[in-house]
């Protein structure tokens, strides 16, 4: 209250009394105390004075002609402009009822005549201090209310930003997974109540985005994602929901579709739209999408189920060659479930070492001598029996399990070669070929694993040949080049498998330290009757010779094909004409007996 004491002096006080002596005495007392004093001799004058300038305090006599103090106070309190002015009643009446009446009509204090100076000053000062305190509290409340309003606005803005962050993708500004799933859930709810309502979800995955992101940098990758988002936005109308789900995955929700053709038409538009390159700030980039489509109505219970089916269809599109779309059908469920089961069994198979090797001989075309074997994996499944590579390798590649399988294959093949050497079955050096996957290339432990296997088996590194497909090499040519250099430094031979079926550019042949080129079986089939294929094989053989490589023809099945290859100076051949892939015991027997199999060629089949 000490802060208020300085504020009450100089306050404007109105004295209302019909007795001039009382006015004079009170005026003198208050003026000497430092107050500004005004005087009125009746209620009418007082009300006019108050209307003219509102005082800080009123000293009001009760007993006055025409209008007594009670009536004046009631009028003051009835007026919202003056109802807050404190009124101290002055009266010679000392009856309790008079005082009660004074407080009932709105008085704040009561001074009994005759006046005592100290009492008047103390009561006046108390009321002015109370009023000052109330004014300060009002000011503080006003300031607090303003702060609360400001804070509320800030919180509302912050909540709006948080909501945007929670429902929008930071990079592209598109809806994120949360908002997309909310929209999809609303569509499902509508489908439950409206039997004619149908919707469609398109799940988009950017092909080769990882390669672009890794080779050109994350900033270019982000720029590409934003550009792709804008291109998709321009294609869609306001009724569709476009979202970036994660990384390079997008999704589109189409409302009120009548049939799947609407969704497939949009997918075709997207594929056509992305056939044009993106002109980024520093690069021109081509990118495509693999698209999975799931159409829905009341047959779905959860939005996650719709996304699952669209995702399955997208992976089917990616597996079929990318840059295309697939529409989900129920048969995909069984296939996906089987793939999941195979993945689980594969992980167990690695731990239990259920993989075995079959060996297919590689033969010198001119002499018919076995110069090597290709080690081909088979899976001895405890329930399903022997499983061929085409049934499990794609899933092993996709899940990354192929790296562990490949490690086991290299170790087993090298150990087997060592066993044959120790048995004295090899009259001349024999090369063991094993396949490397793209997944193994990106594992930094490959060289360490190969060194370990060579050390524990003691075989000559020149007796080991690593085979990779063109596509595996070109997924990361720089990494492949570095890895090949390290393998070559150890004396390990390198071979390009299935040549002619993968990457279209031949420039990498001049830059990679390759020893062997294996012609894919698709070029060898009918080479004895198809002139165009014959010329293609001739070109490939000449190319290999000019680059200092030897050549292996895969899939040789007839003596006529072998004769053609011999005429083209092809070095080596492999196929069912000589032998199918054999279990280790049969391969051992093949090594022990003379090579009389050329006289009785085996029937054609698949590896």
DSSP-assigned beta bridge partners for residue 289: 206
The CA distance from 253 to 340, in Å, is: 27
What does the block give as tokens for 588?
A: 């051992």
Residue ranges of the chain with per-residue pLDDT less than 70: 1-9, 501-508, 594-607
The CA distance from 434 to 283, in Å, is: 39
- Residue identified by tokens 């005087």 is 39
Distance of CA 320 to the CA centre of its chain: 24
Strands (E) across 208-342 are located at 241-246, 249-254, 278-279, 284-285, 288-296, 325-327
Please say whether the beta carbons of 322 and 475 come within 8 A. Answer: no
Angle between helix axes 477-489 and 446-457 (nearest 10 degrees) is 20
- φ, ψ dihedrals at 381, nearest 5°: -75, 135
Please say whether the beta carbons of 574 and 554 come within 8 A. Answer: yes
Reduced to 3 states (helix: H, G, I; strand: E, B; else coil), residue 434 is: strand
pLDDT tens for each residue of 185-210: 999 999 988 888 999 999 999 998 98
Following CA atoms 112, 116, 118, 119 in sequence, which dihedral angle do they give, to the nearest 10 degrees?
-10
Burial class (CB in 10 A: 0-12, 13-18, 19+), 144: exposed
Strands (E) across 311-392 are located at 325-327, 355-364, 370-381, 385-387
What does the block give as tokens for 154?
A: 């800030």
How many helices and strands (H and E) does the chain possess? 23, 21
DSSP-assigned beta bridge partners for residue 278: 285
Q: How many of the other CB atoms lie within 10 Å of CB of 579? A: 21
The CA distance from 84 to 138, in Å, is: 12
Q: What's 220-252 look like in SS3?
A: HHHHHHHHHHHHHHHHCCCCCEEEEEECCEEEE
- Residue identified by tokens 């008085």 is 107
Please say whether the beta carbons of 516 and 496 come within 8 A. Answer: yes
The CA distance from 16 to 59, in Å, is: 6
What pLDDT, on a 0 to 100 scale, did the predictor assign at position 60? Answer: 93
DSSP-assigned beta bridge partners for residue 347: none
| Cis amide linkage into residue 114, ω under 30° from 0 | yes
- Residue identified by tokens 């793939």 is 339
Please say whether the beta carbons of 581 and 376 come within 8 A. Answer: yes
What pLDDT, on a 0 to 100 scale, did the predictor assign at position 502? Answer: 55
Residues ≥6 apart with Cβ < 8 Å to 280: 220, 223, 224, 227
Q: How many of the other CB atoms lie within 10 Å of CB of 337? A: 10
What pLDDT, on a 0 to 100 scale, did the predictor assign at position 189? Answer: 92
The CA distance from 131 to 441, in Å, is: 86
What pLDDT, on a 0 to 100 scale, did the predictor assign at position 606? Answer: 40
The full DSSP string for 74-108 is HHHHHSTTTTTS-EEEEES---HHHHHHHHHTT-S
Please say whether the beta carbons of 23 and 37 come within 8 A. Answer: no
Reduced to 3 states (helix: H, G, I; strand: E, B; else coil), residue 579 is: coil
Q: How many of the other CB atoms lie within 10 Å of CB of 593? A: 8
DSSP state of 187: H
Residues ≥6 apart with Cβ < 8 Å to 38: 12, 13, 14, 15, 49, 53, 55
Domains belonging to the chain, first-starting first, are: 2-139 (3.40.50.2300), 177-329 (3.30.70.270), 339-592 (3.20.20.450)
- Residue identified by tokens 């101290």 is 88
b/e map 565-575, b = 16+ CB within 10 Å: beebebbbbbb
DSSP-assigned beta bridge partners for residue 295: 200
């Amino acid at each position: 209250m000490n802060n208020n004491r300085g504020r009450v002096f100089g306050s404007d006080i109105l004295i209302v009394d019909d007795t001039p002596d009382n006015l004079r005495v009170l005026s003198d007392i208050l003026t000497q105390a430092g107050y500004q004093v005004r005087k009125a001799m009746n209620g009418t004058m007082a009300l006019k004075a108050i209307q003219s300038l509102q005082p800080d305090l009123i000293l009001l006599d009760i007993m006055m002609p025409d209008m007594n103090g009670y009536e004046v106070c009631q009028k003051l309190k009835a007026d919202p402009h003056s109802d807050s002015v404190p009124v101290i009643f002055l009266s010679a009446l000392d009856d309790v009822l008079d005082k009660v009446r004074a407080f009932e009509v709105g008085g704040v204090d009561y001074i009994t005549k005759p006046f005592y100076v100290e009492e008047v000053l103390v009561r006046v000062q108390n009321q002015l201090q109370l009023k000052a305190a109330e004014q300060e509290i009002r000011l503080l409340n006003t300031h607090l209310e303003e702060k609360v309003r400001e804070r509320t606005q800030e919180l509302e803005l912050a909540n709006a930003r948080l909501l945007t962050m929670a429902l929008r993708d930071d990079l592209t500004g598109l809806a994120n997974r949360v908002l997309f799933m909310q929209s999809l859930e609303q569509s499902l709810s509508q489908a439950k109540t409206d039997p004619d309502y149908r919707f469609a979800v398109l799940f988009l995955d950017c092909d080769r985005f990882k390669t672009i992101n890794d080779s050109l940098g994350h900033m270019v990758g982000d720029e590409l994602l934003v550009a792709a988002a804008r291109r998709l936005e321009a294609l869609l109308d306001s009724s569709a929901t476009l979202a970036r789900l994660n990384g390079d995955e997008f999704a589109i929700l189409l409302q009120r579709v009548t049939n799947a053709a609407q969704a497939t038409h949009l997918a075709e538009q997207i594929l056509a739209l992305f056939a044009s390159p993106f002109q980024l700030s520093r690069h021109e980039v081509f990118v495509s999408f693999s698209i999975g489509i799931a159409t829905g109505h009341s047959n779905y219970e959860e939005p996650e189920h719709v996304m699952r089916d669209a995702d399955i269809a997208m992976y089917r599109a990616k597996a079929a060659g990318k840059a295309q779309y697939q529409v989900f059908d129920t048969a995909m469920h069984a296939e996906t479930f089987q793939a999941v089961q195979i993945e689980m069994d594969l992980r167990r198979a690695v731990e239990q070492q259920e993989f075995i090797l079959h060996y297919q001989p590689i033969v010198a075309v001119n002499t018919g001598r076995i110069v090597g074997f290709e080690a081909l994996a088979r899976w001895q499944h405890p329930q399903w029996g022997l499983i061929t590579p085409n049934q499990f390798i794609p899933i092993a590649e996709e899940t990354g399990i192929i790296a562990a399988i490949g490690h086991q294959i290299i170790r087993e093949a090298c150990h087997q070669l060592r066993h044959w050497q120790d048995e004295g079955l090899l009259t001349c050096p024999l090369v063991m070929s094993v396949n490397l996957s793209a997944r193994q290339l990106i594992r930094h432990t490959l060289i360490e694993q190969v060194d370990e296997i060579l050390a524990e088996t003691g075989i000559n590194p020149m007796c080991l040949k690593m085979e990779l497909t063109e596509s595996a090499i070109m997924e990361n040519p720089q990494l492949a080049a570095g890895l090949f250099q390290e393998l070559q430094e150890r004396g390990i031979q390198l071979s390009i498998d299935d040549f002619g079926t993968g990457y279209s550019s031949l420039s990498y042949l001049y830059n990679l330290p390759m020893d062997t080129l294996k012609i894919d079986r698709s070029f060898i089939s009918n080479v004895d009757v198809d002139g165009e294929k014959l010329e293609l094989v001739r070109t490939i053989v000449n190319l290999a010779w000019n680059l200092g490589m030897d050549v292996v023809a895969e899939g040789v099945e007839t003596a006529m094909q072998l004769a053609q290859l011999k005429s083209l100076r092809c070095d080596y051949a492999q196929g069912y004409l000589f032998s199918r892939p054999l279990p280790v015991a049969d391969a051992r027997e093949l090594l022990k007996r003379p090579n009389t199999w050329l006289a009785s060629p085996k029937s054609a089949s698949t590896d």
